């Protein structure tokens, strides 16, 4: 087994990571890695029932995400309060929130990609990397135990 890693998964909505990478997250946790899951929104627009208010939808989706995280064994779960559907316009506030979370001591950042790119994007500073999680890319550590 490789040395346990701290893995930060950042997504726009509750359930994004579960849908795109739930099996991978479960495997990482089974292998002893520590996973911190961050949702930038509470998914308050993710319902078609006109009788549901955004507040009720957000509470429901947060509860579902907490239950899924407990089943997977996610060690840390963070919900930020950006408005669903408005991340494009969040600009500096979104970048600041993401940067703060990354700098909290995480050595690796693993994030589902909205672009579906299969290439890792690596920053030369501090060796951080973002690995897009797509069906084409196996999200496993390399022979050296690194994810990038």
| Domain count within the chain | 1
Sequence-ordered list of residues with C-beta below 8 angstroms from that of 42, at least 6 positions apart, any chain: 14, 58, 59, 61, 62, 79, 81, 84
What is the chain's pLDDT, residue by residue, as a tens digit (148 residues)? 578 888 889 899 998 988 888 999 999 999 999 999 999 999 888 788 888 999 999 999 999 999 999 999 999 999 998 988 888 888 888 888 888 888 875 555 555 544 444 444 433 334 444 444 443 344 444 554 444 4
Q: Tell whether 65 is covered by a domain.
A: yes
pLDDT at 87: 84
Q: Tell whether 146 is covered by a domain.
A: no
Q: By CB neighbour count within 10 A (0-12 exposed, 13-18 middle, 19+ buried), where does 63 fall?
A: exposed
Q: Tell whether 27 is covered by a domain.
A: yes
Q: Tell whether 61 is covered by a domain.
A: yes
Q: Tell whether 92 is covered by a domain.
A: yes
Q: What is the CATH number of the domain that holds 39?
A: 3.40.50.10320
Give the whole-angstrom CA distance, residue 110 versus residue 89: 23
| Domain, as residue range, for 121 | 6-131
Q: What is the dihedral of CA 26, 130, 120, 141, to 10 degrees?
A: -40
Q: Tell whether 75 is covered by a domain.
A: yes
Q: Tell whether 140 is covered by a domain.
A: no
Q: Tell whether 28 is covered by a domain.
A: yes
């Amino acid at each position: 087994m490789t040395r346990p890693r701290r893995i930060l998964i950042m997504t726009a909505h509750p359930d994004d990571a579960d849908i795109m990478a739930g099996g991978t997250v479960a495997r990482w946790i089974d292998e002893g890695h520590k996973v911190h899951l961050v949702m930038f929104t509470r998914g308050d627009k993710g319902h078609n029932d006109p009788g549901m208010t955004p507040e009720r939808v957000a509470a429901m989706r947060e509860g579902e995400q907490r239950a899924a995280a407990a089943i997977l064994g996610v060690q840390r779960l963070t919900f930020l309060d950006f408005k669903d559907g408005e991340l494009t316009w969040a600009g500096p506030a979104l970048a600041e929130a993401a940067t703060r979370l990354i700098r909290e001591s995480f050595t690796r950042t693993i994030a589902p990609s909205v672009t579906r790119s299969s290439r890792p994007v690596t920053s030369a500073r501090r060796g951080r990397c973002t690995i897009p999680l797509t069906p084409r890319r196996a999200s496993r550590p390399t022979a050296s135990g690194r994810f990038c």
